[in-house]
Amino acid sequence: MATATTYGARDHARAQEGARAEAMPVVPASAWPAPPCEAGHLVWAETVAGGNYTHRVLARGTELRLTDLLGDACAHLLLFVADRPWERLNVADTVKVQWNAYLGEGRLLLSDQGRVLASVVADTSGRHDALCGTSTLVRNTERYGDGTPQSASPAGRELFKLAAAKNGLEPRDLPPSLSFFQGVEIREDGALDFTGSAGPGGSVTLRAEQDVTVLIANVPHPVDPRPDYVCTPLEVLAWRSEATRPGDQLWETTPESRRAFLNTAEFLAARGLA
């Protein structure tokens, strides 16, 4: 056997370099075949398998585009301020302050400190959810027979725990999350209607307005009624761009957004970060 010796095992392992998989990170990101930005500005290029997760720390001003390649991705997402993660996404403030329960272009993703973590700069999907969170081990075990990360039906919360741990965070650091590409609407009586996917190719682009830690789990939406665990690959691309500035349309969209950007700018200025 070629791997019977240390030299053979080494050669065998090294021979794998260059192999391709359907879902994988491309490193360096600049090797991505069709970048949506100026050549060399790409900092993250990855395809996340259904039932898998990824995470990255993004600098302020980075744009992050998520694409539902085949129509059954669901990007569950959490954001933390990179170097002080106790400031983090607050979905209640995000919907309450902006007077709207739904996500889409022009919405801000707000922290619990009255500041902007990221803004939604483009959206071709329109099927998103800020209320139902992600799936759990208990529920996936009931529905699919298993929910552990190594199973065929991993739960979003279990994947978030792993992604959080790799950023020094614990389960208690995981607040309610957002999900993109599988929609939920609310009826007048409060009941939920699952509206599913907009189809293949839908994308959402976020812009980091502070340095943020991003956790992403690509798992079925928790109220997806289909009996099978259906989740297809998610494309993740991020590139250097610029944060929202005074005078940008987004800054002035509403009185609430103006104050959120002002709070953020003052915080960053006091820290010497912007």
Partner 1 sequence: MKNVKTVVPARAAWSSVVRTGETLTVTDLYGNQAVDFLVYDAHDTSVRYSAPDTIQAQGTIFLTTGSVLLSNEHTPLMTVVADDVGRHDTVGGACSKESNTLRYGHHTWSQHACVDNFLAEGVKYGLGKRDLVSNINWYMNVPVEKDGTLGIVDGISAPGLSLTLRAERDVLVLVSNCPQINNPCNGFEPTAVEMTIEAGRGDGA
- Binding region for partner 1 (CB under 8 A): 86, 90-93, 95-97, 99-102, 110, 112-115, 131-134, 136-139, 157, 170-177, 186, 188-192, 222-223, 256, 259-260, 263
For residue 234, count other CB atoms closer than 10 A to its CB: 28
Query: In whole angstroms, how close is the CB of 152 to partner 1 at the nearest point?
Result: 19
Cβ-proximal residues to 66 (8 Å cutoff; 6+ apart), any chain: 73, 75, 77, 180, 181, 203, 204, 205, 206, 216, 234, 235, 236
Contact 178, 77 (CB under 8 A): yes
Q: Which is nearer to partner 1, 35 or 114 (CB)?
A: 114
- Cα angle: 50, vertex 52, 58; to 5 degrees: 115
Please give the Cα distance from 247 to 233 (Å, whole number).
37
Q: Which is nearer to partner 1, 45 or 91 (CB)?
A: 91
Contact 74, 196 (CB under 8 A): no
What values do phi and psi take at 270, rounded to 5?
Answer: -65, -30
Query: In whole angstroms, how close is the CB of 168 to partner 1 at the nearest point?
Result: 12
Assign 248 to helix, strand or coil: coil
Query: In whole angstroms, how close is the CB of 154 to partner 1 at the nearest point?
Result: 15
Query: In whole angstroms, how close is the CB of 257 to partner 1 at the nearest point?
Result: 8
Query: In whole angstroms, how close is the CB of 266 to partner 1 at the nearest point?
Result: 10
Distances (CA, A) of 165 to 55, 136, 159, 162, 215: 11, 17, 10, 5, 11
Please give the Cα distance from 145 to 91 (Å, whole number).
30
Query: In whole angstroms, how close is the CB of 92 to partner 1 at the nearest point?
Result: 2
Q: Which is nearer to partner 1, 154 or 222 (CB)?
A: 222
Query: In whole angstroms, how close is the CB of 226 to partner 1 at the nearest point?
Result: 15
- CB under 8 Å, gap of 24 or more: what pairs does 166-172 form? 166/55, 167/55, 167/57, 167/80, 167/85, 167/213, 167/215, 168/85, 169/80, 169/85
Q: Which is nearer to partner 1, 245 or 259 (CB)?
A: 259
Q: Which is nearer to partner 1, 133 or 202 (CB)?
A: 133
Q: Which is nearer to partner 1, 93 or 146 (CB)?
A: 93
Written as six digits, the tokens of 46 are 């990855």
Q: Which is nearer to partner 1, 22 or 170 (CB)?
A: 170
